[in-house]
Amino acid sequence: MHGFSHLYIPGPTNVPEEVRQAMNIPMEDMRAPDFCDFVRPVLEDIKKAFRLRNGRVFIYPSSGTGAWESAISNTLAPGDKVLMARFGQFSLLWADMAERLNLDVDLIEVEWGKGVPVEEYAAKLKADTDHAIKAVFVTHNETATGVTSDVKAVRDALDAASHPALLFVDGVSAIGSIPFEQEDWGVDLAVAGSQKGFMLPAGLGFLGVSDKALAINASNSPKMPRSYFAFDEMIKLNDTGYFPYTPPTQLLRGLRVSLDMMLAEGMEAVWARHAYLAEGVRQAVAQWEGCKLVAAAPEWQSNTVSAIYTPEGVDAKEVISIAYSKYRTSLGSGLNKLAGKAFRIGHLGSLNPVMLCGALSATEMALRDAGAKITPGAGVAAAQEHYRKHA
Amino acid sequence: MHGFSHLYIPGPTNVPEEVRQAMNIPMEDMRAPDFCDFVRPVLEDIKKAFRLRNGRVFIYPSSGTGAWESAISNTLAPGDKVLMARFGQFSLLWADMAERLNLDVDLIEVEWGKGVPVEEYAAKLKADTDHAIKAVFVTHNETATGVTSDVKAVRDALDAASHPALLFVDGVSAIGSIPFEQEDWGVDLAVAGSQKGFMLPAGLGFLGVSDKALAINASNSPKMPRSYFAFDEMIKLNDTGYFPYTPPTQLLRGLRVSLDMMLAEGMEAVWARHAYLAEGVRQAVAQWEGCKLVAAAPEWQSNTVSAIYTPEGVDAKEVISIAYSKYRTSLGSGLNKLAGKAFRIGHLGSLNPVMLCGALSATEMALRDAGAKITPGAGVAAAQEHYRKHA
Amino acid sequence: MHGFSHLYIPGPTNVPEEVRQAMNIPMEDMRAPDFCDFVRPVLEDIKKAFRLRNGRVFIYPSSGTGAWESAISNTLAPGDKVLMARFGQFSLLWADMAERLNLDVDLIEVEWGKGVPVEEYAAKLKADTDHAIKAVFVTHNETATGVTSDVKAVRDALDAASHPALLFVDGVSAIGSIPFEQEDWGVDLAVAGSQKGFMLPAGLGFLGVSDKALAINASNSPKMPRSYFAFDEMIKLNDTGYFPYTPPTQLLRGLRVSLDMMLAEGMEAVWARHAYLAEGVRQAVAQWEGCKLVAAAPEWQSNTVSAIYTPEGVDAKEVISIAYSKYRTSLGSGLNKLAGKAFRIGHLGSLNPVMLCGALSATEMALRDAGAKITPGAGVAAAQEHYRKHA
Amino acid sequence: MHGFSHLYIPGPTNVPEEVRQAMNIPMEDMRAPDFCDFVRPVLEDIKKAFRLRNGRVFIYPSSGTGAWESAISNTLAPGDKVLMARFGQFSLLWADMAERLNLDVDLIEVEWGKGVPVEEYAAKLKADTDHAIKAVFVTHNETATGVTSDVKAVRDALDAASHPALLFVDGVSAIGSIPFEQEDWGVDLAVAGSQKGFMLPAGLGFLGVSDKALAINASNSPKMPRSYFAFDEMIKLNDTGYFPYTPPTQLLRGLRVSLDMMLAEGMEAVWARHAYLAEGVRQAVAQWEGCKLVAAAPEWQSNTVSAIYTPEGVDAKEVISIAYSKYRTSLGSGLNKLAGKAFRIGHLGSLNPVMLCGALSATEMALRDAGAKITPGAGVAAAQEHYRKHA
């Protein structure tokens, strides 16, 4: 099929040309005497994207899932009680991992479409006067439902209860795209991945770690068994500007450029850009008769991905399949209990209004082809007007 | 600015990923013993895109303008009388070149928006009983106005008059995109360039030459002085699978892939695709209050580029400027007497409906920003419905 | 500095142009309906490089170190007794990982320069009549010393003792380069990585798993905690042609091409090519007065990397440093107890005689600059004659 | 065949990775409002590589041959008498072009291996008291023989005779590599191409033009017919930061980077680097029994290419063919009367000692395979010692 393909899944996102150029390179010697001069500033600058003044960010050759595991296995012990909430496929998978790693998971089920139940968390933390809860988990942006949770409020709940539990955040589809303040919000373990807001191919897992979590890691006992993701060797080598095993240098060269782009723009501007682009998509969805966001209320709406219920009788799988095969456009699928009921438009990373008008057009055509009675062009028109006026 | 840029000028066109990959190569030895094994099939296959069974296609390191010059300087003599028509910036420039090269140009002025005046041509040819006219020129697709002329009808006029004049065609924005039959239409010299339907960067000029024109070249006297573009050395070397001077191997490797893509699809399918995509753009234009095509009637409408008058009072330059700076979208400008009055949307090469819906959205936003009272989304809606139903 | 840089470390290796082209791509949808049509043949074909007819190869977003961990954590239980030998930095690190993961390591110290002590292994296996030993580990090619061990002989020892222990092989710098027969040698867990014989950037860990190991994994209890590297989810998704988490599609597209190249050449031809190229390097080393291979005898010599002692009084670190800064050439450093005493020339992956003559020239110049009294050109001359005669 | 291919022809040269990255881009709008902001500094900076303070450099989509034609057709009239010398394939071709373009060529035959006969030129200029000679041509570096001529001396001869003739220089394989001072040497027309010292793919012809030549162009009459290469339209558009026809933007983006690299290094340093690298090749040739440079004496030896006679009885074509097919190395062939007798090693552009040691190894192996009785490694050894000591 001719023309470019159109990628509007919530990651991998579209890699900017500058980053693509930077990755078009021959291999290099990851033990060269000057390789550390390249690595050290990368390790320093990625902290700025996490808004971390102290602590560290680890860069693993892995997916974001690997960084989830690193966070758990380096700071918790088998049997530790942790507080989690499940309201989408990714919070579900993280809870599943916690159980596989032998944590004692206090799991709160939440209606899909809402996020972390801050009041329930607060109540449990307040009640936990002997501090049995060792960690509190927050999926900042549930990629499956397009729901953003209030991380800061969970920090406030911990503080209100003077509770020492570690605060874990899955920021995979949040960090680099929507407001996130690891230092100011007291997040101890913050997970991200290369293929979302960082605008790179998949292949790197990032883990922002607070000084508090580093101290716990240095002393924790009994330990969870760990090796590949262990902090100690990574710290030892990172401190010299190298890695304990062969790093994907191609991705690191790309990361250098994507960090340069983000920091030159300014994180606040990056976040504002995501909000501006996301709002256009929501304005479009509002025009589509019978469609609605999975996010149950405006406060839950994500600026990086919108999950959208198809109208009664319209199979979301068919919408996605038509978009892909007839319009060369990849939309995100409805995962787990949303399968067939919802599709997703990823609107994070390197995008602009014309790209999203194209994505919305593909969606409108596919919806109509699949039987939805929406007005052609209505969503695009609403998005256009939003983009024009708020540029 | 973030996201991909959007290129909807009538060339250079969007280079397919396959072609881009093929050009990401180290340099190579253009005199290597096996280089001819690569060159010969390219020289053979490019003829298929020109629909030339006999004759040759020359590949010059030049723009299409260079191939214009090659056509003239290799087959005509200073002072030769030629028949030309001027109805846009490119037919104008070709006539200008003919005069610079000392041809005696019989130039017919035609209203911009129409194409070659076949009846006037026919009359002149019929009247030219002593065959003073040595060549007849046709700008197949006037890129400045979005007007396609009837090449076949000019051939018929020549035949009806039993006139031996050579038939020159500027097919730069036509060949590889809209129906063109060099052999069947008896076109003697057909000019094309890499950066249009061939989906490559600029840098190669193509010239399809009939056996009749080759014979004239071999014997013509008095000659027009020529060297860089001379046929003789090119023929001598091409026959061995090489070139008389260093060819741009990177572009040739890209050409190999673009020819593979075109021929696998089939030229008829390529042409049908262009018609399908162009019609969506025209459907959109029809919805834009106050806008209209420069092409004066449906028979003149080009399937590779649409030139569009802006509504009264709306400066086309402003539309283009806003599209570029605010929406990262390049539209073609109004050239010469169309400056400020019209803009152009290039819809040739490697494109698909979603790309064009994006381009139309950019245009709608820019038109409204520049003061046009069009209905947002109306054009996109019409295009969507066309693309859905005729896929 | 001008000109290309020269990479002769034992991985990452030089990426062929074909693979580099294949990785110069936009991102794609790893859940697209046709993505499985791409993935399934890759999963099937990579088995051919491992020479595995049954079983599976897992592809992890990780370094080879991650695949080490996957092998252990999926088939062994905490406290399991395993037999290992330590004779270089990488066998040392694997033993270290085994201890971190709470295995009971029976570790045999071997002189660096030799490999797995088959007779000691055989004796221990024979004595272990109650089968306390659950796994036997072999570092097939010790990258730090340039020593290749006899995997087949270890299999024979297991068979001779009718011992059911699993056979683990670190094939990171072996598989895809030197003879390796996972099925015929009864290797249960075989570890490889993308950046060596597979001629890709770092970023993928490969793990070949026998049916026997898969069966143990399916039933093992007590389990070692595992999640990211767990077989079960990977099997479930791979069986559908997908992955449980976002795969690095760019590397997979590269892998497709590198597998095509290897399988078109034929694994036996790939191995023969490595032997041919390695022998040229050894012929050169033999000419360098005062230098000698770390490999203690010809039977230990590796065809993928040569570790070379510098002459008395010549600091290997200085040789490496001069090669890098003055000659733009990366040589491998002496690791751990070889630091300062030896350097390494990687000769695996996509190479040819002229590249190695360049590498040997760089080494000769750096050796002389660092004070070695070798005859300039002597090594290169020997390599040239070998390459000429045995091409 | 595996490993990188080795390119040691005198152009196209090896493209640096930085330049290759810069050319890995989507197409762009060559009429965009900010395109001129990119073009103007390129047009200014390329003058620095020509060492031109006044005048202009034109950039044509063509090979260097096109720039030869531009130089002639824009400043001379049909029938003009010009002084040329022929001592290799490229000076031969330029003279051939001059005759095709109807110049009256006073052609001095010189033994191949020597360059421009300054004294004969001086005598003719002195004798030409009525200034019938309109232009004097110098092939600065005859690529076919590896001979460099003394441009400055020709200028001095013109000045000594107070002769107003224009000074034309073919600097295709010189400019950007060996000392060239267009302004200080009073060169009026200086031809170069992208694929030599400028380290780009073929596809751009460069023409440096003095103010004197520009003035002649503005007023010349009778004119030589010209259009594609005409100065006037190019000047008009370049002055606005654009081009009269679609420029190869990909190459221009590459040129931006190659100019940055050259100017950051400094032209004097670029020239010194070429001298240093060339001397190593000559030291090697001196060791090869029976081989000798085509350049007849040291003062003629080129620092960008060495043409080398094979020993009696050794077919140079066979050497080249073996190098290509057996060692993946491209050497330059002997052209015209040197065919079969000599081969060439290109040593210009982006190179370093280790690359050249590889090239020399390939040459030694191919020479021996073809029957030459040279000592293996002897040339490489001599080159190594030169590179080590003079780095």
Structure confidence by residue, pLDDT tens digits, B26-56? 999 999 999 999 999 999 999 999 999 999 9
pLDDT value at residue C179: 98
CB-CB contact of A238 with A46 (8 Å): no
DSSP string, A128-177: -TT--EEEEEEESEETTTTEE--HHHHHHHHHHTT---EEEEE-TTTTTT
Nearest-CA neighbor of C369 among C308, C281, C310? Answer: C310
Q: Is any Cβ of chain D less than 8 angstroms from the Cβ of A18? A: no
Given a cut of 80, is residue D97 above it in pLDDT?
yes
- Which residues are bridge partners to A328 per DSSP? none
pLDDT at B247: 96
> What is the reported pLDDT for B223?
83
Query: Could you count the other beta carbons within 10 Å of the beta carbon of residue B345?
Result: 25
For residues B94 and D227, give the distance between their C-alpha atoms in angstroms, rounded to a whole number. Answer: 10
Q: How confident is the model at residue C379 (pLDDT cuts 50, 70, 90)?
A: very high
In a domain, C363, yes or no: yes
Q: State the Cα–Cα distance between residues B176 and B174, nearest whole angstrom.
A: 6
Cα separation, D146 vs D148, in Å, equals 7
DSSP assignment letter at A200: S
Helix, strand, or coil (residue A51): coil
Alpha carbon distance B334, C172 (integer Å): 61
Residues of B within the annotated binding site for substrate?
344
CB atoms A24 and D25 under 8 Å: no
A69–chain C Cβ distance below 8 A for any pair: yes
Q: Among residues of chain C, what percentage have pLDDT more than 70?
A: 100
Counting Cβ atoms within 10 Å, is residue D269 exposed (0-12), middle (13-18) or buried (19+)? exposed
Closest CB to B327: pick one of A2, A353, A377.
A353
**Whether residue D251 is found in the same domain as residue D299:** no
A128 Cβ contact partners less than 8 Å away, ≥ 6 residues apart: A161, A163
Q: Best residue in D17, D39, D63 to probe B by mutation, most B CBs within 10 Å?
A: D63
- Encoding tokens for residue A371? 């039987």
Is there a single domain that holds both residue C43 and residue C149? yes
Interface contact D240, partner B, CB < 8 A: no
Domain check: are A62 and A43 in the same one?
yes
The angle at the Cα of C13, spanning C11 to C16, to the nearest 5 degrees, equals 160
Mean pLDDT of D45-58: 98
We report the CATH number of the domain holding residue D314 as: 3.90.1150.10
Across chain D, the runs of DSSP E, i.e. the strands, are 6-8, 56-61, 81-86, 104-109, 133-139, 141-142, 147-148, 166-170, 189-193, 204-209, 292-293, 305-309, 329-333, 342-346
Cα separation, B100 vs D227, in Å, equals 6
Would residue C1 count as lying in a domain? no
Alpha helices by DSSP H, listed for A24-77, are 35-50, 64-75
Q: Are residues B96 and B148 in the same domain?
A: yes
pLDDT in tens, D69-90: 999 999 999 999 999 999 999 9
C-alpha distances in angstroms, D375 versus B150, C83, C375, D388? 71, 52, 14, 21
Does D177 reside within a domain? yes
Nearest to D358 among C2, C355, C385 (CB): C355
How far is it, in rounded angstroms, from Cα B127 to Cα B137?
17
Confidence of residue C223 (pLDDT cuts 50, 70, 90): confident
Shared domain for B235 and B273, answered yes or no, is no
Give C263-322 pLDDT, tens digit per residue. 999 999 999 999 999 999 999 999 999 999 999 999 999 999 999 999 999 999 999 999
Are A274 and A249 in the same domain?
no
Three-state DSSP class for residue C385: helix
- Chain A contact for C250, CB < 8 A? yes
Residues C164 and C92 in one domain: yes
Residue A1 domain flag: no
Q: Which residues of A touch D25 (CB under 8 A)?
A: 17, 21
Both tokens of residue D333?
């062939």
What distance, in Å, lies between the first and last C-alpha atoms of chain A?
33
Which of C264, C292, C322 terminates a domain? The answer is C264
Residues contacting A129, CB < 8 A, separation 6+:
none
**Residue partners of B183: CB distance under 8 A and separation at least 6:** B51, B52, B53, B54, B55, B210
User: CB of A124 within 8 A of CB of A101?
Assistant: no
* Strands (DSSP E) found in D1-131: 6-8, 56-61, 81-86, 104-109
Q: Is the pLDDT of residue D222 over 80?
A: no
Maximal C-alpha separation, chain D: 63
In a domain, B254, yes or no: yes
Partnered with residue B133 across adjacent β-strands are B81
Neighboring chain D residues of C376 at a CB cutoff of 8 Å: 381, 384-385
Closest Cβ opposite residue B100 in set D30, D203, D227: D227
Query: Distance between CA atoms of A61 and C249, rounded to whole angstroms?
Result: 14
Domain at A85, CATH number: 3.40.640.10
Name all chains with 3 or more CB-CB pairs below 8 Å to chain B. Answer: A, C, D
pLDDT at res. A222: 76
Residue of chain C whose alpha carbon sits nearest to that of A5 = C28
Q: How many residues does chain D have?
A: 391
Closest CA to C345 of C328, C370, C320: C320
* Partner-chain residue, chosen from D17, D20, D26, that has the shortest CB–CB distance to A17: D26
Look up residue A242 and give its two tokens.
């190298």
Residues of D in contact with A253 (CB under 8 A): none
Range of the domain at A165: 17-264
Nearest to D246 among B14, B202, B249 (CB): B202
Residue D18 is encoded by which pair of tokens?
A: 């930085």
Considering the domain architecture, whether residues C322 and C197 belong to the same structural domain is answered as: no
Helix (H) or strand (E) holding B337: none
The answer to whether D326 and D359 are in contact (CB under 8 A) is no
- Report the number of secondary-structure helices (H) and strands (E) in chain D: 13, 14
pLDDT, residue B106, reads 98
Per-residue pLDDT, averaged over D165-190, amounts to: 98
Residue C332: beta bridge partners?
Answer: C344
Question: Whole-angstrom Cα distance, residue C188 to residue C210?
Answer: 5
pLDDT(C161) > 90 = yes
In 3-state terms, what secondary structure has residue C271? helix
**Are D280 and D247 in a shared domain?**
no
In a domain, A175, yes or no: yes
- C220: contact with A, CB 8 A cutoff: no
User: Average of pLDDT values for C133-159?
Assistant: 98
Q: Which residues of chain A have pLDDT under 50?
A: none
Q: Compute the distance between CA of residue C147 and CA of residue C125 in angstroms, rounded to an integer.
A: 23
> Chain centroid to CA C102: how far?
24
Q: Which of A238, A264, A290 is the last residue of a domain?
A: A264
Residue A268: CB atoms within 10 Å: 9
Cα–Cα separations (whole angstroms), residue B60 to B66, B70, B184, B189, D177: 8, 9, 24, 14, 27
Q: Strand C81-86 and strand C133-139: pairing?
A: parallel
The pLDDT of residue A319 is 98
Asked if residue A160 is part of any domain, the answer here is yes
Identify whether residues D250 and D277 lie together within a single domain: no
Q: Name chain B contacts of C25, Cβ cutoff 8 Å.
A: 17, 21
Q: How far is CA C320 from CA A31, C332, C334, in A?
A: 11, 7, 9
Give pLDDT, residue B220: 79
The answer to whether residues C320 and C346 belong to one domain is yes
Q: Which of C204, C238, C264 is the last residue of a domain?
A: C264
Q: Is the pLDDT of residue D220 over 90?
A: no
Omega before C12 cis (within 30°)?
yes
The pLDDT of residue C5 is above 90 = yes
> Does C256 share its domain with C329?
no
Are C75 and C216 a contacting pair, CB within 8 Å? yes
Which residues, 6 or more positions from C266, have their beta carbon under 8 angstroms from its beta carbon?
none
The verdict on A375 touching B (C-beta cutoff 8 Å) is yes
C-alpha C355, offset from chain centre: 21
Could you read off the pLDDT tens digit of each residue along chain B, which spans 391 residues? 699 999 999 999 999 999 999 999 999 999 999 999 999 999 999 999 999 999 999 999 999 999 999 999 999 999 999 999 999 999 999 999 999 999 999 999 999 999 999 999 999 999 999 999 999 999 999 999 999 999 999 999 999 999 999 999 999 999 999 999 999 999 999 999 999 999 999 999 999 999 999 999 999 777 899 999 999 999 999 999 999 999 999 999 999 999 999 999 999 999 999 999 999 999 999 999 999 999 999 999 999 999 999 999 999 999 999 999 999 999 999 999 999 999 999 999 999 999 999 999 999 999 999 999 999 999 999 999 999 999 9
Strand order from edge to edge, sheet including D81-86: D56-61, D204-209, D189-193, D166-170, D133-139, D81-86, D104-109
Residue B362 lies in a domain: yes
Q: Can the peptide bond before residue D222 be classed as cis, meaning omega within 30 degrees of 0? A: yes
Question: Cβ–Cβ of C352/D387 closer than 8 Å?
Answer: no
Number of domains in chain B: 2
- C201 within 8 A of C194, measured Cβ to Cβ: yes
